Amino acid sequence: MIPHLLILPLKLVSLCVRIKSSRILANLRTVGEHDQQAEIDSFRESCDISVILNKIATGEVSTEFTDEDCLDLVEMPQSLVECLDVRDAWEQQQLIDVDDPK
């Protein structure tokens, strides 16, 4: 059970928050409108798979790549622990390089 002395301050705080919120809302004014759906719709063409495939077919989007564009992920860490181990080894190597410049 909550003591009555504690309820009164909580009600007072709640009332103060409501009053302050209503004052803030009363001071707000519209400076412009933003059509969010229109903005979303403006990206429709760039996300449409048929448009993308058509651009590839007409050559607007290049599909050529070289060996430099490829990345060998065979030795990529397979878990978070392996990632942290690689990071720790790299940091340790950086410390060694700083202590012993070549």
Place of tokens 């790299």: 90
- pLDDT tens-place string over residues 46-63: 888 888 889 888 988 888
> What average pLDDT does the segment 19-39 reach?
77
Q: What's the rounded Cα separation, in Å, for the pair 57 and 50?
A: 10
CB 88 within 8 A of CB 80: no
> Is the whole model's pTM more than 0.85, yes or no?
no
pLDDT band at 83, cuts 50/70/90? Answer: very high
